[in-house]
Structure 1
Amino acid sequence: MTHNAVDEEILQQWTRRLSQALQILDLEVDNHVILNVADEAAHAVSPMAAPITTFVVGYAAGLAAAHSATASRAATARAAEIVITVCQQPTDESPDQTGWVNTAQ
């Protein structure tokens, strides 16, 4: 997904404002990764899949955050990688048919 510097600044401001409102201190969000994951899910599944997918990625990161910020970043990257891989698979392929071995967090 492409966007310009103005969009990036707006997203950074929104992320800071939202994280402060939710009292999540020192949150670093890689907007590019999140937007890429949302875009992949929207195109591979449906536009409605984008927010659900980013929520699940965030949830995985949150679970890992209990261990450390580094683990959270790694979980986000791994979850994003898995989502993109799944989105790029043919629509008739599912975990029941081929199995998605080694994709769990």
Structure 2
Amino acid sequence: MTLSRDEDSSLRHWSARLIQALQILDLEVDHERIVDVANASAEAVSPNAGAISAFIVGYAAGTASTKGRKGSREAVHAAAEKVIGLCRHGESGGPDEEGWTKTAQ
């Protein structure tokens, strides 16, 4: 999904305010990727699944990057890809039904 110029500007401003307020000044946000995760989750499961999925992607990326395993951009991308993959199956089906063997979890 491509964000409109106005929405992108608004999200960048909002992100800057949050980043400053939460004192995570070195954070870079891939707005389009997070919006893709939220939209795919909302469509696959329910409107509120978008917010929950975006939070979980951020949390997963934060724990991965603080353990020295990945850079934050790479960690967000990996977590977002996993969530979007699950969205293709909706609320059921997919790797979690068969187990997570060989999924880098």
Q: TM-score range by the shorter chain?
A: 0.7 to 0.9
Residues paired across the two proteins, number: 104
Are residues 6 and 53 of structure 1, via their aligned partners in 2, closer, same or farther at CA, if it must alter by over 3 Å? same
Q: Percent identity?
A: 47
Inter-partner Cα distance in structure 1 for 2:18 and 2:90 = 36
Deviations 1:1-43 (A, max 9, x none): 4431011001001101110000111210000000000000000
TM-score, length basis structure 2: 0.85
Q: CA deviation at 1:100?
A: 3.7
8 Å CA contact retained: 2:60, 2:75: yes
Cα gap change, 1:90/1:31 in structure 2, threshold over 3 Å: closer, same or farther?
Answer: closer
* Structure 1: tracts of 5 or more residues without a match: none
- Are the aligned partners of 1:82 and 1:103 in contact in 2 as well (CA < 8 Å)? no
Partner of 1:15: 15
Contact 2:19 2:27 in 1 (8 A): yes
- Structure-1 residue corresponding to 2:103: 103
Opposite residue 26 of structure 2, the aligned amino acid is D
| Amino acid aligned to 1:89 | H
Taking structure 1 as the reference length, the TM-score comes to 0.85
Other structure's SS at 2:47 match: coil
The residue aligned with 2:40 is 40
Deviation for aligned residue 1:101: 3.3
Q: Secondary structure at the match of 1:48?
A: helix
Aligned residue in 2 for 1:89: 89
